[in-house]
């Protein structure tokens, strides 16, 4: 006869938990608290140990060194890398990195800080849109979802233009949504135009094409053509040109339009029409990328799908449905556009992450408000997925680090020591999944568990920041073997059968690419000090080694090429600087 009392105990605990969460939600409702929490959370996930990891090649090395060279030359117009014209990206990211370097010095933190700040602006854009669309706590929840999405946080901790593009496109769309929603005034059109122009300076034509395509799809699906202030479009276009065009014209005249040929033809049309640098993938490439990049929140993907399937005007109302269509367009257009592109990289689809956060928030809000009643099996499936993913992460990282032997595969995979330190982060997902299974019938508890798990998991990944992998990156360690006063001499630095862009940044001097063993011998025989970085096995197999040439320092592992790299000095360098170990 104890069963009723046990049930009463469980119900009492459930009631206490519900009451606590309800009080917590009430405390979160004031706008100033939501903003303070989101900014504080951004600082934790985005700034913690931001400069701990050495630069990641290829992109971070290229972008950061280009900014350093522009600042060194006093030229903010023409991007260069390794003191040659760089046509990969427009200059906005370089300008921001230069300004950041003025405050924080030329280091990894300064290089990544503009991306981190852009991440904050994206979180605030999602918060603004969510409040406009679903009201109440929806914007706050959407901001939490985005701040807890691992791929988004990784992008805002990475020194390239993707986080910047996402922030500018997001605010452009927020302003367009305000205009489509109200149909009054014209200020939103000019604000959207300014954001698009800055995005053009950040990443190129995608800064105009992406928000334009999203707006067009929205108008085709939801209507609202009369809300567009057509008479003011020429003025908005003039503003766009006033912001974006001057630099493009200036860099064209400075380079005789060589920059334009390389950027527009090779790095835009070329990437879209054919895979570049072996970055190819199937048409569905970005679906698992998006689901994995928003995990563990994507474990509740069934909620927005069920909500949309039942989402008639009676459920959403005339006010909510058009905004929902806007979010669908925001999510679908980047997925389709980048899926069609032949060159594929995970970060390309980053502009879809804010829409994914809003889409997932829709499902959470619908369940919480009783708009839908999902079957328990769907929730349990998501929680089981969360648990298994956590266990898989623990096992996978331990195996990849070599801490968990996997037989003969261990030697073939060449384990990376240091990954074992982040493996326990998978237990956060395991705990969240198990707790979610226990509360799979209660919307508020299950949503709270997934949200807390996502935030803790992403915060742990950010705090780690790959710092333990520094021992497997060669450029910075190789640069420490060079003499401190090398820049004051005519010494030369080269690489043979190996190159990473960040070596130029850490060495603070041009790096020559040596293409053959004959050229290598000639490089080392020159009468001025010369250093060469090359794979250890190539150094050991050289048939002809100029007299006086010797290895400097120790062998350094490079996990990109999965080899060890050595730095050798010619006779003139040994005579001038000695051998630095």
Cis peptide before 296 (omega within 30 of 0): yes
Please say whether the beta carbons of 353 and 152 come within 8 A.
yes
The span from the CA of 421 to the CA of 432, in Å, is: 20
Most confident of 168-182, 266-280, 338-352: 168-182
Place of tokens 């048939």: 543
**Does pLDDT of 219 surpass 80?**
yes
Q: What is the pLDDT of residue 10?
A: 52
Q: What is the pLDDT of residue 14?
A: 55
Q: Per-residue DSSP letters for 414-459?
A: ---TTGGGTGGGHHHHHHHHHHHHHTTT-HHHHHHHHHHHHHHHHH
Could you read off the pLDDT of 472-481 as tens digits, one per residue?
Answer: 999 999 999 9
Look at residue 558 and give its three-state secondary structure.
Answer: strand
The span from the CA of 581 to the CA of 573, in Å, is: 14
Render the burial of 124-158: b for 16+ CB within 10 Å, e for the rest: bbbbbbbbbbbeebbbbbbbbbbbbbbbbbbbbbb
Span 390-412, average pLDDT: 78
**Does pLDDT of 354 surpass 90?**
yes
**Does pLDDT of 123 surpass 90?**
yes
**Does pLDDT of 3 surpass 60?**
no
**Does pLDDT of 212 surpass 60?**
yes
Could you read off the pLDDT of 52-104 as tens digits, one per residue?
Answer: 999 998 899 999 999 999 999 999 999 999 999 999 999 999 999 999 999 99
Please say whether the beta carbons of 173 and 214 come within 8 A.
yes
Q: What is the pLDDT of residue 1?
A: 40
Please give the structure tokens belonging to residue 571.
């006779």
Lowest mean pLDDT among 325-329, 365-369, 561-565: 365-369
Q: What is the pLDDT of residue 2?
A: 45
Query: How confident is residue 5, by pLDDT bands cut at 50, 70 and 90?
Result: very low
Q: How far is CA 62 from CA 69, 269, 529, in A?
A: 11, 21, 26
**Does pLDDT of 273 surpass 50?**
yes
Element (H, E) at 374: none
Q: Bridge-partner residues for 428, per DSSP?
A: none
Could you read off the pLDDT of 156-202 as tens digits, one per residue?
Answer: 999 999 999 999 999 999 999 999 888 777 899 999 999 999 999 99
Please say whether the beta carbons of 381 and 389 come within 8 A.
no
> Average pLDDT, whole number, for the chain?
88
**Does pLDDT of 11 surpass 60?**
no
* Whole-prediction pTM: 0.93
Q: What is the pLDDT of residue 282?
A: 85
**Does pLDDT of 370 surpass 70?**
yes
The span from the CA of 575 to the CA of 324, in Å, is: 71
Render the burial of 425-434: b for 16+ CB within 10 Å, e for the rest: bbebbbbbbe
* Domain range annotation of the chain: 29-368, 376-469, 475-577
- Full 3-state SS string of 50-118: CCCCCCCCCHHHHHHHHHHHHHHHCCCCCCEECCEECCCCCCHHHHHHHHHHHHHCCCHHHHHHHHHHH
Q: What is the pLDDT of residue 27?
A: 74
């Amino acid at each position: 006869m104890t069963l009723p009392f046990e049930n009463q105990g469980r119900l009492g605990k459930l009631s206490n938990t519900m009451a606590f969460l309800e009080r917590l939600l009430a405390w979160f409702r004031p706008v100033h608290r939501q903003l303070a929490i989101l900014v504080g959370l951004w600082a934790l996930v985005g700034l913690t140990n931001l400069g701990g990891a050495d630069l990641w090649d290829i992109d971070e090395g290229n972008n950061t060194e280009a900014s350093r060279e522009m600042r060194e030359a006093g030229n903010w117009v023409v991007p260069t890398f390794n003191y040659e014209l760089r046509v990969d990206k427009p200059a906005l990211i370089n300008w921001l990195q230069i300004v950041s370097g003025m405050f924080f010095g030329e280091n990894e933190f300064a290089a990544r800080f503009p991306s981190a700040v852009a991440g904050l602006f994206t979180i605030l854009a999602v918060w603004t849109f969510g409040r406009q669309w679903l009201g109440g706590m929806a914007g706050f929840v959407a901001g939490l979802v985005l701040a807890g999405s691992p791929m988004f946080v990784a992008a805002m901790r990475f020194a390239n233009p993707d986080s910047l593009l996402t922030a500018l496109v997001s605010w452009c769309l927020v302003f367009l949504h305000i205009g489509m929603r109200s149909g009054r005034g014209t200020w939103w059109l000019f604000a959207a135009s300014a954001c698009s122009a800055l995005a053009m300076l950040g990443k190129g034509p995608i800064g105009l094409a992406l928000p334009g395509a999203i707006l067009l799809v929205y108008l085709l699906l939801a209507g609202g053509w009369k809300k567009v202030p057509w008479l003011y479009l020429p003025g908005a276009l003039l503003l766009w040109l006033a912001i974006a065009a001057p630099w493009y014209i200036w860099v064209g005249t400075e380079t005789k339009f060589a920059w334009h040929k390389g950027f527009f033809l090779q790095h835009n049309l070329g990437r879209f029409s054919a895979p570049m640098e072996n970055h190819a993938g199937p048409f569905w490439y970005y679906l698992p990328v998006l689901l994995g990049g928003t995990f563990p929140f994507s474990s509740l993907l069934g909620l927005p799908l069920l909500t949309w399937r039942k989402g008639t005007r009676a459920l959403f109302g005339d006010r909510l449905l058009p905004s929902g269509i806007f979010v669908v367009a925001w999510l679908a257009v980047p997925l389709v556009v980048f899926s069609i592109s032949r060159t594929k990289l995970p970060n390309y689809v980053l502009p879809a992450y804010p829409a994914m956060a809003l889409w997932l928030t829709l499902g959470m809000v619908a369940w919480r408000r009783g708009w839908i009643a999902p079957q328990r099996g769907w929730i349990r499936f998501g929680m089981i997925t969360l648990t298994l993913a956590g266990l898989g992460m623990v096992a996978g990282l331990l195996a990849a680090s070599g801490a968990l032997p996997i037989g003969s595969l261990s030697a073939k995979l060449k384990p990376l020591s240091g990954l074992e330190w982040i493996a326990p982060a998978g237990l956060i997902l395991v705990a969240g999944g198990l707790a979610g299974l226990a509360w799979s019938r209660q919307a508020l508890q299950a949503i709270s568990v997934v949200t807390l798990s996502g935030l803790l998991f992403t915060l742990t990944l950010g705090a780690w920041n790959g710092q333990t992998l520094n021992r497997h990156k060669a450029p910075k360690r190789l640069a420490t073997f060079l003499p401190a006063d090398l820049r004051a001499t005519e010494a030369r630095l080269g690489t043979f059968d190996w190159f990473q862009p960040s070596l130029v940044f850490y060495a603070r001097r041009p790096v020559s690419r040596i293409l053959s063993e004959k050229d290598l011998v000639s490089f080392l025989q020159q009468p001025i000090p010369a250093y060469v970085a090359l794979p250890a096995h190539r150094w050991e197999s050289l048939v002809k080694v100029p007299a006086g040439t010797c290895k400097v320092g120790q062998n350094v592992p490079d996990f990109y090429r999965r080899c060890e790299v050595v730095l050798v000095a010619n006779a003139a360098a040994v005579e001038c600087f000695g051998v630095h170990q």
